[in-house]
Amino acid sequence: QLQLQESGPGLVKPSETLSLTCTVSGGSISSSSYYWGWIRQPPGKGLEWIGSIYYSGSTYYNPSLKSRVTISVDTSKNQFSLKLSSVTAADTAVYYCARLLERLGAFDIWGQGTMVTVSS
Amino acid sequence: SSELTQDPAVSVALGQTVRITCQGDSLRSYYASWYQQKPGQAPVLVIYGKNNRPSGIPDRFSGSSSGNTASLTITGAQAEDEADYYCNSRDSSGTVVFGGGTKLTVL
């Protein structure tokens, strides 16, 4: 069945750029029915949507993060990626990638999540 | 931007029925989805659309909506239902928003 797996550095220095990749296996990222999204969860806090992308490259971003976020897709590798610039300690969180039923706004399949700590 | 409001905590006696609510303007036009999250685990979708359960989700979970309020109902709560529950929806601009989450305690 479809699986998603996040990968990337677990430690990022303040002011630098956080970069994560989500690899989709067991299915195609080019499915016309779905978007692909990033969600994060700071320790002990709730879920925050970061942004979503379609296989064509069309994107939606959280307005509060839009100036710092770039989400891209590589259909040849069945991957999509997140870049978050100028990070601070407030960006420390578990970062999840997930498949999005865009019409319904429902994330139906999630990766296991990866913890990213922003610290010098 | 849109906001979704949830009660921070709710409790239910074992075997009883509990309703968890989510309020927001976007819910007048778009369905809420509901997620269960247990400690140290990724969220799991339990309800989406009008009242749809993904494969493997017990039928004691159901969803409903009225006006700007969506509800997740657990009929006959079990000990394993103790978890955090989050709602989310999309809005007309295509952005997605999550509620703040509700911690469910099964007594």
| Average pLDDT over all residues of chain B | 96
Q: Do B1 and A46 make contact, defined as CB atoms within 8 angstroms?
A: no
pLDDT tens column, A44-98: 999 999 999 999 999 999 999 999 999 999 999 999 999 999 999 999 999 999 9
Selected residue of A49, A61, A100, A104 to mutate for chain B interface (largest B Cβ count, 10 A): A104
Q: What does residue B26 show for φ and ψ, rounded to 5 degrees?
A: -60, -20
Q: Which of A86-90, A98-102, B81-85 has the lowest mean pLDDT?
A: A98-102
Q: What percent of chain A has pLDDT over 70?
A: 100
Q: Do A106 and B86 touch (CB under 8 A)?
A: no
Q: pLDDT, tens digit, for every residue of B32-66? A: 999 999 999 999 999 999 999 999 999 999 999 99
Residue in A46, A102, A108 closest to B98 by CB: A46
**CA A5/CA A115 separation, integer angstroms:** 13
Q: Considering chain A, what percentage of its residues have pLDDT values greater than 90? A: 94
Question: Which of B42, B45, B54 has the CB atom closest to A112's CB atom?
Answer: B42
> How many whole angstroms separate alpha carbon A29 and alpha carbon A44?
31
Shortest Cα–Cα distance, A76 to chain B (Å): 26
Do the strands B61-66 and B83-90 form a parallel or antiparallel pair, or are they unpaired?
unpaired
The verdict on a CB contact (< 8 Å) between B48 and A100 is no
The string of DSSP codes covering chain A is: --EEEEES-SEE-TTS-EEEEEEEESS-TT-TT-EEEEEEE-TTS--EEEEEE-TTS-EEE-TTTTTTEEEEEETTTTEEEEEE-S--GGG-EEEEEEEEETTTTEEEEE---EEEEE--
How many CB atoms neighbour CB B60 within 10 A? 14
- Residue in chain B closest to A46 (alpha carbons) equals B100
Q: Is the pLDDT of residue B1 over 60?
A: no
Which chain A residues contact residue B98 at CB under 8 A?
Answer: 39, 46-49
Nearest to B57 by CA among B74, B32, B40: B74
Q: Nearest residue of B to residue A101 by CA position?
A: B48
Whole-number pLDDT of residue A50 = 98
| pLDDT above 90 for B2 | no
Which pLDDT value is given to residue B92?
86
**Arithmetic mean of pLDDT, A11-36:** 96
Residues of chain A contacting residue B95, judged by C-beta atoms under 8 Å apart = 49, 60-63
Task: List Cβ neighbours of B56 (8 Å cut-off, separation of 6 or more).
Answer: none
The pLDDT score that the predictor gives to residue A32 is 87
DSSP B57: -
Phi and psi torsions of B17, nearest 5°: -105, 140
